[in-house]
Structure 1
Amino acid sequence: MAVSSAAFRELEAFHQRGRPTGLAPGRQAATDEFGSIRRFAVDGMLFREGAEAASLFAIREGLVKLVRHLPNGRARIVGLHGPGAVLGSPANDAAPAVNPHSAIALGDVVAVSWQAGSLQRLRRERPGSYIELLESLFGQVQQADFWITEFSTGCIRSRVARLILFLARLRGAATTEDVELLTCQDMGDILGVTPESVSRVVASLKRMGTLEADAGPGHGQLRCDLAALRRIAAD
């Protein structure tokens, strides 16, 4: 199934908006006073699927994946978020909610966390910052719609190419040709395919020269042909 030119232009526009900008520096400092700095190692859990939703997390460094378990027991990655993103859900006394997914660190992650009490204090003492924080949280919802369009349509090869372009921008490398891939398992969980299928596509892209090992200081980084990836992504 090919992605229409109009649809792909919309996806490119989403990419061009780049990473979430989060709060302005002054607002961020004022908001952070009400939260606490949390550090997570790889596979660290920010919050767990099914647990009561009562906290917000603003990502300052690193990448976080959102994982949901399907009825058949298989885990599916339903979101990836980097610096500037706000994740979680504030407590709701009227109708307590549960987290629809788990948030798991893909590497070292630094985040600011607000529990129910600190969010209430922020709302009372810094209402403007509180509103901006909730507006940043809306980016999680926007990505969910994008996720379905970007990674659930088209052939595996084009979807892998879109994911590589997305990773480059998410890691702040939108203007360079360097990208650090996820594991084939994680990429497969995002696309809903086997890690072997992802591995075959990545190997093919390397043979074509679309992806090449980067001899620079970045461990595990690849240099990519962005123009070629965009052509493949549009197939």
Structure 2
Amino acid sequence: MTKVNSAADSPDRVLGHPLFRDAPPEVARLLLRDAAVLHVEDGDVLFREGEDAIEYLYVLSGGIEVLRHTQDGQERVFHIFRSGQLLAETAMFMTHGRYPMNARARGDAITLCLKRSGLQAACRAWPDLSMRLLARLSDRVYQRVNEVEWFSDSTAAQRLADYLLRLRPGQDASVRLPLTQRQLAAHLGVRAETLSRLLADWVAQGRITGARRDWTLHDLAFLDDLAQPVRRSF
């Protein structure tokens, strides 16, 4: 893991993010103050749950996954952040001042490390940024409320069908799982054995084909009928 001075094009890239777009020059200087580029290799940990949250990240290339470990030692991956996305910016405002999750490189990646102090100062100087952050946080709270309902009111089959359909790139019937099957089971809140049985049953029925991370969805109507009852209209 190597930190170097900010890359030539990284300031322009991060300032093009919807959160920072059209920031006045003095606000841009606050946001980029002491920023540094971090090169990480696959599996490198960028921060750990419970550590002081002093930096947030803008992904320049590659992917960064955020995760927690369950009580039985399994990994639950909450999200994979890709190029052009911010992560841990909301942690910069938590009263306990600590990261709530772990962040780890998925493959080789490059991120721009931005300082908590700069973000907080920018919010004080430019109210538009505070309003954008508030809207961003509100959307995430709403998403999490929906996820709680999704977990409590749906079956394992419904959650898996919904997940597979959301992975489809456009109209393509082929999907690649971004998680291992054990990680996917934790993400969906099911036992690994339950996930394996569901996949095997759907293969036997001709609904899907594939193995490990690569799958083809043959019966989209079947999957859509399963997933439809647990989807919200907004």
Q: Which has the higher contact order (CA 8 A, sep 6+)?
A: 1
* Shift, 1:142, TM fit: 4.0
- Structure 2 CA distance for aligned equivalents of residues 98 and 106 of structure 1: 22
Shift, 1:204, TM fit: 2.5
Cα RMSD after superposing both structures: 4.0
Q: 2:216 aligns with which of 206, 218, 223?
A: 223
Instruction: Tell me which residue corresponds to 1:176.
Output: 172
Identity across matched positions, percent: 24
Q: Which consecutive residues of structure 2, in runs of 5 or more, have no partner in the other structure? A: 1-15, 230-234
| TM-score, reference length from structure 1 | 0.64
Please give the alpha-carbon distance, in whole angstroms, between the structure 1 residues aligned to 2:121 and 2:39. 23
- Whether contact under 8 Å (1:86, 1:140) holds in the other structure is no
Q: 1:200 is matched with which residue?
A: 197
Give 3-state SS (helix, strand or coil) of 1:200's partner: helix
Distance 1:128 1:24 in 2: 9
CA distance in 1, matches of 2:158, 2:104: 26
Q: What is the CA-CA distance between 1:223 and the residue it aligns to?
A: 2.8
Superposition deviation, residue 198 in structure 1 = 1.4
**How far does residue 49 in structure 1 lie from its aligned partner after superposition?**
0.9
- Residue 157 of structure 1 deviates from its aligned partner by 1.7
CA distance in structure 2 between the partners assigned to 1:118 and 1:209 by the alignment:
54
* Residue identity opposite 1:230 in structure 2: D
Alignment CA distance shift 1:197-1:42 (3 Å) = farther
Deviations 1:40-64 (A, max 9, x none): 4433323211112222223455554
Equivalent residues of 2:68, 2:101 under 8 A apart: yes
* Change over 3 Å in CA distance of 1:233–1:107 after alignment to 2: farther
| Runs of 5+ unmatched residues, structure 1 | 1-20
Q: Which amino acid aligns with 1:222?
A: W
* Amino acid in structure 2 at the alignment position of 1:116: R
Instruction: Compute the displacement of 1:126 (Å).
Output: 6.5
Deviations 1:89-136 (A, max 9, x none): 35459x442222223344444443312244256447766457546654
| Aligned-partner Cα distance in 1 for 2:146–2:59 | 20
Instruction: Name the CA shift for 1:213/1:193 in 2 (closer, same or farther; >3 Å).
Output: closer
Matches within 5 A, 1:138-149: 139-149=139-149
Deviation of 1:22 after TM superposition, in Å, equals: 5.3
The structure richer in strand per residue is 2
Give 1 or 2 for the bigger CA radius of gyration: 2
What number of residue pairs does the alignment pair up? 204
The one-character-per-residue Cα deviations of 1:185-217 (angstroms, maximum 9, x if unpaired) are: 111111222222212222233333333349xxx
Matched residues in 1 for 2:49 and 2:147: separation? Answer: 19
Inter-partner Cα distance in structure 2 for 1:224 and 1:161: 10
- Counterpart of 1:17 in structure 2 is none
Q: SS in structure 2 opposite 1:222?
A: strand
Give the structure 2 partner of residue 233 of structure 1.
227
Residue 184 of structure 1, CA deviation: 0.9
What are the equivalent positions in structure 2 for 1:29-108 lying under 5 Å apart?
Answer: 34=32, 35-70=35-70, 72-75=71-74, 77=76, 79-83=78-82, 85-88=85-88, 89-91=90-92, 95-108=95-108
